[in-house]
Amino acid sequence: MTQIKQIQSHLTISGTLLDPYAAGKIISLCAESDDDHLSHAYKLFLQLSYRTKFIWNTMIRSFTAKNEAFKALTIYKTMLRSGYLPNNYTFSFIFKACCTDHLSLGFVFHSQAIKLGWESYDFVLNGLIHLYSMSGSMGPARTLFDSSAARDIITWTALINGYVKSGQVSAARELFDNMPEKNAVSWSAMIHGYVQVGLFKEALELFNQMQICGCRPNHGGIVGALTACAFLGALDIGRWIHAYVDRNGMELDRMMGTALIEMYAKCGCIETACSVFDKMLDRDVFAYTCLISGLANHGQGCRAIKLFGRMKNEGVAPNEVTFICVLSACSRMGLVDEGLRIFKNMREVHGIEPGVQHYGCLVDLLGRAGMLEEAKKVVRDMPMEPDSYVLGALLNACRVHGNVDLSEETVENLVERCIDHGGVHVLLSNIYASSKQWHCVVKVRKGMEEKNVRKIPGCSFIEVDGKVCEFVAGDRSHVLMEDTMLLLFGIDKHLKSTRKCMAFNH
DNA sequence: CTAGGGTTAG
């Protein structure tokens, strides 16, 4: 960079800096390096009285690459106003800029591209297919795809991503199977598609098949497969993938690190999750949040809160999800004061306005601790309508602390808002059962039958010896059921004797 | 000077 600046000084002295070709070279060199230099390039850009299209394009491209799409589009508008016509390069850059946050503007620019005759130019067309795919407009995306004379991997993958994003996995899969050629990005897109809709086994199958086809997975594919492992409890496969990452010298970047932490935490290996976290060089809010959540889920609320403090010390700002995780850590540990303090700091220190989910955590925090009146007051005074989680937390607290009256009131509230899914009624019936009001139990069950509401059975996965087993609530068909039940009773007894005073339900 | 992918929640 110092050398670039030296050259620039020479040009300034010799009066040739305003030569557009020399300036263009300088600008593109600056713009390609880091943020600071982009603002330097921009200053230089503003001084120029004559700008080539190359210079305009470079500025638009660079701001887009630095996640400043709005700035890029502003420059594009200035370009038009100054009487310059955009070319194929310009359009590929601005469609990319529109993909993040300015989809509808993209449609306006599409008509400009048509007028100027660039629509069917391959790079522009791929950009357009990507744009429509990202906005979920699969009709136009498909039409453009069909109109393409030179479909390549990019074209196919852009459309596949569109179907994935709009939840049409089978349409995505059909395209994927018909692709003339696949690479790591297309495999990764399809794996991610399965993960998004919860088809984790299919995601892992595809990951497997990818390797059989001789395609080396990239970071995206690895991240997708690890996420699938996390949800399936597929620890052995997850470990294998981790070993693959190490063996191939793949960088433990933020996303890879977070995916590994999530996998280990969800598979019960919280210590390994911590050591992955420690090995990461660059830990962002996602990595922190993921580990905080993992610790909370392992009953290590104090460590979770400590990590939250460390995050602050290292200058990583928490976001709204982080607060959900920390608050739920407090809730499970019964740390009411700590939780209330953190809730208060959310707005006052971190400038994050609590959302309905944070109120849900607050109700849960107070409710589990037996402060039902306070919890009820939060529901009454919160600035937005309570949702099923808020009322569900209150109802659960009623169950734990045996408050039948407040449960009835809460269920009525849920019914009024039409958020009374099957689980709500089952919960109420259980509450009646534990207070031995059998006639009420019958009434609730009958009401459910009449309204034809059913509770969707809960289910979970765990992998044993490399095989993924699925368990559905109420299912007693597993070969080791008797041993399992005995062990569960043992654990339950142990918990009840050691934690009698605490409400550790749910 | 050009394009496609991936992370955190109860």
Q: What is the pLDDT of residue A354?
A: 94
**A497: confidence class by pLDDT, cuts 50, 70, 90:** low
Choice among A101-115, A152-166, A370-384, A477-491 with the minimum mean pLDDT = A477-491
For tokens 């921009």, the residue is A42
Q: What is the pLDDT of residue A504?
A: 42
In tens, the pLDDT along A51-70 reads: 999 999 999 999 998 888 99
From A183, A190, A247, A252, select the one nearest A219 (Cα to Cα). Answer: A252
> What is the 8-class DSSP label of residue A304?
H
Kindly give the interhelix angle for A219-232 and A200-212, rounded to the nearest 10 degrees. Answer: 140
The Å distance, CA of A273 to C1' of B7, is 15
Phi, psi of A505 (to 5 degrees): -80, 170
The Å distance, CA of A334 to C1' of B5, is 41
Radius of gyration of chain A (CA): 28
Choice between A472 and A113, residue whose per-residue pLDDT is larger: A113
Q: What is the pLDDT of residue A506?
A: 38
In tens, the pLDDT along A207-248 reads: 999 999 999 999 999 999 999 999 999 999 999 999 999 999
Choice between A99 and A9, residue whose per-residue pLDDT is larger: A99
Q: Which amino acid residue lies closest to nucleotide B8, measuring CA to C1'?
A: A286
Q: What is the pLDDT of residue A221?
A: 95
Q: Are A497 and A504 a contacting pair, CB within 8 Å? A: no
The Å distance, CA of A28 to C1' of B1, is 8
Choice among A109-118, A135-144, A472-481 with the minimum mean pLDDT = A472-481
For residue A303, pLDDT beyond 70: yes
pLDDT, averaged across chain A? 87
First-to-final CA distance of chain A: 58
Choice between A9 and A345, residue whose per-residue pLDDT is larger: A345
Choice between A7 and A295, residue whose per-residue pLDDT is larger: A295
- The closest nt to A53, taking CA to C1', is B1
- The closest nt to A288, taking CA to C1', is B8
Q: Which amino acid residue lies closest to nucleotide B4, measuring CA to C1'?
A: A154
Question: If you average pLDDT over residues A401-416, what whole number do you get?
Answer: 75
Token pair in block for residue A249: 């010298």
Within 7 A of a protein CB, which nucleotides of strand B? Answer: 1-10
**A410: confidence class by pLDDT, cuts 50, 70, 90:** confident
Q: How far apart (Å, rounded) are the C-alpha atoms in residues A231 and A448?
A: 31
The Å distance, CA of A125 to C1' of B8, is 34
For residue A8, pLDDT beyond 50: yes
The Å distance, CA of A222 to C1' of B4, is 17
In tens, the pLDDT along A173-209 reads: 999 999 999 999 999 999 999 999 999 999 999 999 9
- The closest nt to A290, taking CA to C1', is B8
